[in-house]
């Protein structure tokens, strides 16, 4: 009997979306769903939402709510991780401290200083979760949705090489929909070949049926209205020749190009501090969702673009699915370092998940991704080894931070962030004073 554990189920709307996707497959309607959250009220809300969703499908899945994570994991076939460690308060720190030093951010959850610290405070949770999985459901597949995607996925496969894990995002699918709208074609007419790292996955080939879509995309970019919808990414295409995944607001904070000056921020409509606003909105949305559930109101119900249910369906039924996932680079992209976390096509069927070889990226695209890979690697190593120096070194290699801050400010900012996050930092990193950076050979 198929059993899916949802960890961090307090992300109630996301739970509804994933469950809708799952139950939309008739073959999966006898699933068991175990919900876990550390917040009693949110867990209860998730339970209500799950039952409401099941009811819309006339399905009778077994639904369990567990404050005890281990009970939720026991004998699971799939574990879907969607936690947010530190919640709104930690997010605020990730924005406010850098901003004090002059470093502006937009989303701060994946790459860059914000991504690093979100990673540092989430890795200890990931390691605990997987330690439990090794014991309670060693054959289960971990589907990770929590950001920072590359850092967390890499932390899992470095610490537990035997754990089946894949990092899942919607950046490729969403970008495909956006491209379809810029090209004014149905998304079904598009086919594409993508590779890179999460949030920097390049549309290497893009076709409308059998026709190369790039000439039309270059032409579309000349239309100021279309350009205005995605300024950062069109500018990156102009510079590097290919369209990049995720969104303009995310990509704006990954490079030195768009946030160094007020002029650039204005020219490219960069929404500084955007994620703080979203985070506040999310709090409100949760409250409203709970209110509606209690009031017996209804919600929209349609398939999302998430890959989670496709993976579950493919493994359960054997019908192959091709998705994009984040996995260990075992020669998959041969001009990015082995061991880093890459986003490539992954085929899934009854035998599990198999990553596809993507060969070499064009050098300009590999060169665009590569600096981030080393920052991610150092962040993971810092957390796994409890090595505070590696946090500093990661920050010293971040493209955006170093284009804005002095060495002295980078150091002070990193130390202040570590201090502020306190016990949320991995052991070995927290609690020490700033007199680091003095290692011998």
- Determine the distance from the C-alpha atom of residue 368 to the mean position of all C-alpha atoms in its chain, rounded to a whole number: 19
When the beta carbons of 124 and 241 are compared against its own copies, the nearer one is: 241
Asked if residue 340 lies in contact with residue 355, where contact means CB atoms within 8 angstroms, the answer is no
In sequence order, the 6+-apart residues with CB closer than 8 A to the CB of 127 are: 155, 156, 159, 160
Q: Is 399 in the site for its own copies (CB under 8 A)?
A: yes
* The residue to which tokens 């054997």 are assigned: 318
Give the Cβ contact number of residue 3 at 10 Å: 20
* The residue to which tokens 């020490």 are assigned: 432
Task: Copy the structure tokens of residue 405.
Answer: 């801050």
CA-closest candidate to residue 250, choices 189, 175, 311, 313? 175
When the beta carbons of 238 and 285 are compared against its own copies, the nearer one is: 238
Task: Report the residue from 87, 127, 226, 370 that binds its own copies according to the rule CB under 8 A.
Answer: 370
CB of 316 to its own copies, least distance (A): 10
Axis crossing angle, helix 274-295 with helix 40-56, rounded to the nearest 10: 60
CB of 218 to its own copies, least distance (A): 6
Q: Given the rule CB under 8 A, which of 19-27, 40-48, 100-108, 341-349 is the region that contacts its own copies?
A: 341-349
Task: Copy the structure tokens of residue 342.
Answer: 């890459």
Q: Is 260 in the site for its own copies (CB under 8 A)?
A: yes
The residue count of the chain comes to 441
Q: Is 138 in the site for its own copies (CB under 8 A)?
A: no
When the beta carbons of 35 and 190 are compared against its own copies, the nearer one is: 190
Q: Which of residues 291-320 bind its own copies (CB under 8 A)?
A: 318, 320
CA-closest candidate to residue 208, choices 185, 227, 174? 185
Q: Is 214 in the site for its own copies (CB under 8 A)?
A: yes
Task: Report the residue from 74, 99, 207, 430 that binds its own copies according to the rule CB under 8 A.
Answer: 207
Q: Is 240 in the site for its own copies (CB under 8 A)?
A: yes
Q: Is 255 in the site for its own copies (CB under 8 A)?
A: yes
Task: Report the residue from 13, 187, 396, 434 that binds its own copies according to the rule CB under 8 A.
Answer: 396
Task: Copy the structure tokens of residue 217.
Answer: 């995309």
Q: Is 345 in the site for its own copies (CB under 8 A)?
A: yes
How far apart are the C-alpha atoms of 63 and 33, rounded to whole Å?
Answer: 5
Asked if residue 244 lies in contact with residue 60, where contact means CB atoms within 8 angstroms, the answer is no
Task: Report the residue from 357, 385, 423, 427 that binds its own copies according to the rule CB under 8 A.
Answer: 357
Residue 170 annotated as catalytic: yes
Task: Convert 210-225 to b/e letters by CB count within 10 Å (16 or more is b).
Answer: eeebbebbeebbeeee
Q: Is 123 in the site for its own copies (CB under 8 A)?
A: no
Grouping H, G, I as helix, E, B as strand and the rest as coil, residue 285 is helix
Task: Report the residue from 290, 381, 388, 421 that binds its own copies according to the rule CB under 8 A.
Answer: 381
Q: Given the rule CB under 8 A, which of 48-56, 63-71, 118-126, 198-206 is the region that contacts its own copies?
A: 198-206
Q: Is 191 in the site for its own copies (CB under 8 A)?
A: yes
* The residue to which tokens 């076709």 are assigned: 207
Q: Is 102 in the site for its own copies (CB under 8 A)?
A: no
Task: Report the residue from 123, 276, 355, 429 that binds its own copies according to the rule CB under 8 A.
Answer: 355
Task: Copy the structure tokens of residue 90.
Answer: 């930690």
Task: Report the residue from 21, 109, 235, 306 that binds its own copies according to the rule CB under 8 A.
Answer: 235
Which residue is catalytic, options 36, 66, 88, 170? 170
Task: Report the residue from 92, 185, 356, 420 that binds its own copies according to the rule CB under 8 A.
Answer: 356
Task: Report the residue from 201, 251, 326, 390 that binds its own copies according to the rule CB under 8 A.
Answer: 390
CB of 321 to its own copies, least distance (A): 6
How far apart are the C-alpha atoms of 156 and 129, rounded to whole Å?
Answer: 10
Q: Is 160 in the site for its own copies (CB under 8 A)?
A: no
Q: Is 409 in the site for its own copies (CB under 8 A)?
A: no
Task: Report the residue from 128, 212, 297, 423 that binds its own copies according to the rule CB under 8 A.
Answer: 212
Q: Is 239 in the site for its own copies (CB under 8 A)?
A: yes
Please say whether the dihedral angle defined by the alpha carbons of residues 307, 316, 54 and 81, taken in this order, is positive or negative: negative
How far apart are the C-alpha atoms of 415 and 419, rounded to whole Å?
Answer: 6
Q: Which residues are catalytic?
A: 170
């Amino acid at each position: 009997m198929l059993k899916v554990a949802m960890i961090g189920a307090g992300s109630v709307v996301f739970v509804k979306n994933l469950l809708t996707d799952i139950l939309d497959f008739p073959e999966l309607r006898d699933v068991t769903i175990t919900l876990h959250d550390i917040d009693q009220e949110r867990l209860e809300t998730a339970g209500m939402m799950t039952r409401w969703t099941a009811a819309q499908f006339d399905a009778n899945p077994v639904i369990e709510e567990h404050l005890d994570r281990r009970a939720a994991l026991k004998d699971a076939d799939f574990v879907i991780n969607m936690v947010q460690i530190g919640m709104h308060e930690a997010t605020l720190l990730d924005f406010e401290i850098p901003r004090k030093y002059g470093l502006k951010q937009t989303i701060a959850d994946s790459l860059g200083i914000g991504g690093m610290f979100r990673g540092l405070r989430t890795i200890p949770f990931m390691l605990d979760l997987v330690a439990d999985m090794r014991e309670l459901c060693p054959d289960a597949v971990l589907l990770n949705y929590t950001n920072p995607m590359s850092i967390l996925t890499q932390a899992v496969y470095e610490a537990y090489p035997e754990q089946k894990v894949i990092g899942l995002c919607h950046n490729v699918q969403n970008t495909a929909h956006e491209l379809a709208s810029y090209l004014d074609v149905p998304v079904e007419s598009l086919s594409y070949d993508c590779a890179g790292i999460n949030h920097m996955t390049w549309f290497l080939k893009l076709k409308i049926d059998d026709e190369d879509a790039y000439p039309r995309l270059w032409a579309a970019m000349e239309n100021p209205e279309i350009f205005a919808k995605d300024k950062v990414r069109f500018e990156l295409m102009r510079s590097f020749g290919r369209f990049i995944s995720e969104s303009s607001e995310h990509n704006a904070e990954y490079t030195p190009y768009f946030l160094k000056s007020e002029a650039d921020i204005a020219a490219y409509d960069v929404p500084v501090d955007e994620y703080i606003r979203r985070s506040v909105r999310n709090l409100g949305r949760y409250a409203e969702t709970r209110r509606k559930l209690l009031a017996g109101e209804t919600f929209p119900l349609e398939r999302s673009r998430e890959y989670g249910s496709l993976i579950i369906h493919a493994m359960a039924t054997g019908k192959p699915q091709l998705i994009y996932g984040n996995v260990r680079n075992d020669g998959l992209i041969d001009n990015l370092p082995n061991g880093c976390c890459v986003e490539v096509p992954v085929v899934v069927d009854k035998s599990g998940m198999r990553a596809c070889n993507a060969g070499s990226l064009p050098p300009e695209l590999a060169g665009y991704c590569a600096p981030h890979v080393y920052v991610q690697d150092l962040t993971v190593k810092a957390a796994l080894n409890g090595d505070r120096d590696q946090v500093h070194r990661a920050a010293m290699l971040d493209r955006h931070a170093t284009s804005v801050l002095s060495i002295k400010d980078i150091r002070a900012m990193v130390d202040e962030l570590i201090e502020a996050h306190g016990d949320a930092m991995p052991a070995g990193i927290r609690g020490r004073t700033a007199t680091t950076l003095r290692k011998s050979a």
